[in-house]
Chains A and B, each alone.
Chain A
C-alpha cells in the first residue's frame, strides 16, 4: 500500500478574499483508497476541493499539495494551472456544476477526455477520434443508465439537480482520474439515485482511484466504504477514524466534536459571524 501513488496535502492554509478558511489541513490519500470528509456547513470542505483544483479565488497562503509517485518523486500541484492539474489526474466533482450554454456535453467531454489522456496536447491538435469517443461515451452512459439524448444537451444547461450530479459522475467515468474529490455528489438526489451513484462510483473507482467523498450522509458510502473518515471543523481536520465515525456523525451530529475541539469550534463561530456580517461572496 505504501508504494502506491499518493495525493498528499500538508499544512494547507487557504484564504478567500483575505479571510482564512483553511487553517492547516493535512491529508494523505493513496490510489485505491476511499476517504470520507465530513463536517458542518462552512467548515471548509468545499474550499479544500477548490484549492486542490486551483480555483483562482482560493489563495493558498501556505502549505503544499503534491502527487507523490511510487518511486518517491513529487509533483507540485499548487504550481500548476487547473487544466494541468486535471491532466495530472486530479478531478473535482462540483457541488454546483457550472452550465455552459451552447456547448454540448459530448463536445465538452471530447475535449476534456482528449486532453486528460494526452496531457501534452496543445489546443488545435487532433481530438480523440470521433467514432472511438462516441462508442465509449455511449457505453458509459448506458452503464450509468443515462439517456443517450443527454450527450446532445448543453453542459448543465437547464439540468435538474439530479441530472447535474449524474453528469458529474459521467465525467468521472470518462476521465478516469487518479484522484477524485466528490463534493456532495449525493446532494439533490433521492434515495434510489444516491444508491445508484454509490454503486457507480465504486465501479468507476475500482482499485485504481483515490477518492475523497465529501458528504453529510452515509448512503453514498454504502458501496464506497471509507478507509478513513475525516471530520473538518473550523478549517482543520480535527479527528479521523474508521467507518464507525461516519455513522456516529450521521446519527448524532457534531456536538461531541465541537465540545472536544473548542479552539476549532471557536474558529467556526468566528467565520460564521464574519459571513453573516458581510454579504457572502457570490
Chain B
C-alpha cells in the first residue's frame, strides 16, 4: 500500500544520543537523566524470555538494530486520531432507548491538541483560556525549556533501568507531551495527544501528567499509523507514561493503541494516586503486531481510588501482552480493574494482573477481572490473575472468564432479521458494553465501539 520509504535513521547508539541532545532544548537536568538511562541501556540486552514479565512475549523476530530515531517525519498526512476526531465531531444525541449519548457540552470540544509524526511535533495547541488558568499542555521540550516546575516528576514515576526497552525510552524519548493542571483547577474539555508514525516509522514519545491537589482533567492519548502486517518495515514504538494524581484530584484518561498491524509496541505506564485522588484509566488496544505493556497503579495516600479499564480487540496474528499491577501502599484505598478482550483469527491476548497490598494498607478494597471472548477457534487468551497480600484486613478478589460467541445467541438475533455478521457484531458489542459503561466520556466509548464493530468479521 505504502511505497514511500521512511527517511534515513540512525541506530540507537551514542552518536544518535549526542545528536539528539545537541538538537534538543531540554534543560540540563533532563539531559542528565537521558545520559543515565543511556548508561543503563548500553549494559542491557533484550529482555530474557525466562523472566516472568517477558515469557509470553515472542521477540524472536524483533530486530533491535533495525530501528533508530527518524531524522525527519515521513512524508504524507498524519491521522487526526480516532478519539480526537470523535470529540471534534460528536455523534447523535441519543441512542435508540432514548438515553442521551453525547456528554456535557464541554466534552464536545478539545481544550488542546498535541500531535507528532515520527517523533517530530506537528501540532502543539492549547486553549488560551486554559493557559491563563495556569494549565500547561503540549510539547514537553517547549514546556520544560520554559521552566515548567516538573523536575521532580519527569522520569521519576517509571523506572528507566528496568529493562532494555525502558532504558531505550529513557535515553531516546522524543516528541513527548506534558499535561500539568495547577491545584484546584478543573478542566472539563478533554486534551488530546496523538503520536503517529509513517510506514517503518519510529516513536519514542513520553507523556507526563501531573494534577495538583483538587485538580481535574481529561486526557486522551492515542497512536496511529505505521506499516501494516504486509509491510516489511512495520514500525516501532517504545514509549512511557507517567501520571501523578494529587490529593483529591480526578483524572480521566484514555490511552488508545491504534497502530497498524506491523508495529512493535512497547510501553511502560504508571500512575501514582495520592490521598483522596481518583483515577479513571482506560487502555484501548486495536492495533500493533506485538504489544508489551506494563500498566501500574500505585495508591499512595488514604482513600485513593483507581478504576482501570481495558478494551482490547485483536485479529490476524496480533499478539498483545499486558502486565498490570494494582499496588496498594496506603490504607483504605480502592482499585477496580476490568479488562475485556475479543480475539479474532489467530491472534493472542495475554493478561497477567497483580494486586499487591502492603502491610500498612489495611482496609484495602481491590478487584481485578478479565473477560475474553474468542471469535475463532485459533484465537487464544491467557488470563493470569495474582494476589500478593501482606495486610490482614482487606477485601481482594479476582475473576476471569473466557468463552466463545454462543451460536444460540446468533440464531436468536438472526431469527429477528439480523444478518449473521450483524448478529455477531451486536453480540460482541454487548460483550464490551460493561466496560464501555465505565468509560464516562460518551464520544470516546462510541468511537471505540464503532472501531471494534468495523473489525469484526463473520464469527467462525
Could you list which residues of chain A lie within 8 angstroms of chain B, going by C-beta atoms?
Answer: 53-56, 81-83, 85-87, 91-92, 94, 97-113, 115-116, 123, 130, 133-134, 151-152, 154-155, 171, 175
Contact = CB atoms under 8 A, between A and B. Distances in A.
Contact of A123 (B409, B414, B421, B431): B421
B409 A83 contact: no
Contacts of A155: 430
Contacts of B92: 130
Find the residue from A81, A112, A154, A175 having the highest chain B CB count within 10 A.
A112
A111 B422 contact: yes
Contact of A175 (B95, B417, B422, B425): B417
A269 B423 CA distance: 38
Given A83-B418, A112-B416, A100 B430 contact: yes
Given A102-B431, A102-B433, A175-B417, A94 B412 contact: yes
A103 B433 CA distance: 8
B97 interface: yes
B71 interface: no
A152 B426 contact: no
A175 B415 CA distance: 11
Given A98-B409, A98-B412, A104 B96 contact: yes
B94 interface: yes
Given A56-B407, A82-B411, A108-B413, A152 B97 contact: yes
Interface residues of B, number: 33
A61 to B, nearest CB: 20
Nearest to A123: B422
A92 B415 contact: yes
Contacts of A103: 426-427, 429-430, 433
B339 interface: no
B162 interface: no
Contact of B409 (A85, A100, A105, A112): A100
B390 interface: no
Nearest to B437: A102
Contacts of B98: 106, 134, 151-152
A55 B410 CA distance: 10
Contacts of B413: 100, 108, 112
B432 interface: yes
Contacts of A56: 407, 411
A92 B420 CA distance: 17
B415 A111 contact: no
B377 interface: no
B432 A115 contact: no
Contacts of B94: 130
A102 B429 contact: yes
Contacts of A81: 414, 419-420
Given A103-B429, A111-B422, A112-B418, A55 B411 contact: yes
B424 to A, nearest CB: 10
29 contacts: A54-B411, A56-B407, A81-B420, A82-B411, A82-B415, A86-B414, A86-B415, A94-B415, A98-B409, A99-B409, A100-B426, A101-B434, A102-B433, A103-B426, A104-B96, A104-B97, A107-B96, A107-B97, A108-B413, A109-B416, A112-B416, A115-B417, A115-B419, A123-B421, A130-B96, A151-B97, A152-B97, A154-B433, A155-B430
Contacts of A116: 416-417
Given A102-B429, A103-B429, A111-B422, A83 B414 contact: yes
